[in-house]
Copies of this chain bind each other. A is one copy, B any other.
Amino acid sequence: MVSQIPERIEPGMPDQDRTATGLFGGVFARGRAQPTDTAWLQAMLDAEAGLARALERAGLAPAGSGAAVTAAARAGDFAVGELGRLAALTGNPVPALARALARRVPQGAAGAVHHGATSQDIIDTAAMLLARQTAGAVLADLARAADAAAGLARAHRSTIMIGRTLLQQAVPVTFGLVAAGWLASLDEAREGLVAVGSRLAVQFGGAAGTLASLGGDGPTVAALLADELGLAQPPLPWHTNRLRIIDVASALARVTAALGTIARDVTLLAASEVGEVSEGNGPAAEHGASSAGPAGSSAPRRGGSSAMPHKHNPVAAIAILGCTRQVPGLLATLLSSAEQEHQRAAGAWHAEWEPLTALLRLAGSAANWAAELLGSLVVDVSRMAANLAATKGLPLAEHVSSLLASALGGAEAHDLVAEASQRAVAAGLPLRDVLLEVPKLQDRLSAAGITAEQIEAALEPVGYLGATDHFITAALEAHQSLEARLAKEGRDG
């Protein structure tokens, strides 16, 4: 059984429960491949089973040992709670697990269990297996999200809306450009996550990284173990070199950074006073409906409030933010923990397990929410137009300023238009009226040879979109290139 070192992470991993249990699980533990305790345990058992098979292939364990250990390595057969309690004796659950596993295999195969390994070999390798599973699920959800963003970029290529900087209305953009920006960030996040696949490596060094208990056979077994598990083989054990953990975490943190930005945009665009987008009824709502009792009252309404019946909260976006905002602290913990002393560390290694698990879980959940969010986002084109019109030409002030700059010079043009804008705001008048009807300003424009027609043309939003169309196209083309590349690697790899 020779598998490939994954140059990229397969999105098509076997399914687990779509929604994890737990009181907050519907928010923070969605998506396939959640790193539950059971998943952790199975990954540890997979590592032990892979080792038994590798030992057999290397001639260091009797024929059949690998199959026997593999057959016994089913998480459901072990008592998670008891292993957890015994973990207090050694600081991790592997010694108890290895003993329990050895007792569950025939006498002849027991010697193949955990032979040559130290606890960290099993846990680190299991972490890599979990990372691969989660990354696969995240990639699948991100692909859905990116496709949805690409669809929005195409559909709304020309849907004019106001661009906002520092939360102030600035100049016109299109919603297609907004979606193209989301798309570009999703695609960058996907690329990073695919690339991290080659960093997922087996850990196998024994007590102090020398594999001494295997005599001269260590490197052979290590290579076979990597082969069995489909993980890369590092030049030497990485017990205290935690860059692989950092790389997994950073790649996921890039994902949540991209998702958080999208989600924050959605919450702001969905704000009552803006109202340009709203969340559709995605699977969460369907799920709720299906789980409601006959009277329909057991399940709350999607996006509803317990106190305010008219509310339509952007639940998916909020849930994404609830996930993504936990990530910087978790990454910081992993990075702090990367300082690991001597041959294996006292404490810093242990401090990794929970934040890494949380990071995998939260990235998986945020990506799952995002696929749903973008797949059912409702865009209110007329509200976008209304919001753009509401400020009466001010967002085109820059355009007018450009027009005047050639005649007046940049600084003077800037200041003249700023003055006009302030008058317009103060008087509640359209910028056009101020520019063309306030005598003092009108005189300066006339003196500079600027006509009313020029001013009015400069105040048309559609004429001030610059490279918007070009940028949307560039993002869509980059998306197609990425899709083609990933499809090719999928076929080849």
- CB under 8 Å from chain B, chain A span 299-314: 299-314
The residue of chain B having its C-beta at the shortest distance from the C-beta of A431 within the complex is B310
Q: Please report the C-alpha to C-alpha distance between residue A309 and residue B421 in the assembled complex, in whole angstroms.
A: 7
Evaluate contact between A210 and B171: CB separation under 8 angstroms. yes
CB distance from A211 to the nearest CB of B (A): 4
**CA of A338 to CA of B358 in the docked complex: distance in angstroms?**
20
A457 contacts the other chain (CB 8 A): no
A418-B311 Cα distance, complex, nearest whole Å = 8
Known pairs A164-B342, A219-B470, A301-B418 / 9 extra A-B pairs, C-beta < 8 Å: A25-B85, A28-B354, A89-B302, A211-B467, A236-B472, A246-B253, A273-B387, A310-B424, A331-B331
In angstroms, Cα B207 to Cα A446, docked, is 27
Interface flag for A319 (CB, 8 Å): yes
Interface-side segment among A3-11, A65-73, A133-141, A173-181: A173-181
| Interface core residue of A173, A287, A322 (most chain B CB under 10 Å) | A322
Interface of A is mostly: helix
State A247–B257 Cα separation when bound (angstroms): 11
| Interfacial chain B residues near A310, Cβ < 8 Å | 394-395, 397-398, 417-418, 421-422, 424-425, 431
CA distance A19 to B88 in the complex (A): 10
A291–B83 Cα distance when bound, in Å, is 11
Q: Which of A142-150, A183-191, A224-232, A447-455 contacts B (4 or more CB under 8 A)?
A: A183-191
Assuming the contacts A117-B307, A311-B168, A337-B325, asked whether A246 and B236 have C-beta atoms less than 8 A apart, the reply is no
The complex is assembled from copies of this chain, and their number is 4
| Complex-state Cα separation, A89 to B102, whole angstroms | 45
Minimum CB distance partner of A257 in chain B: B338
Give the 9 A-B residue pairs with the shortest CB-CB distance, closest first.
A321-B347, A322-B350, A163-B208, A310-B421, A26-B88, A212-B466, A329-B333, A329-B329, A309-B418
- Verify B326–A331 contact, CB threshold 8 A: no
Q: Is the CB of B341 within 8 A of A23?
A: no
**CB atoms of A319 and B165 under 8 A apart:** no
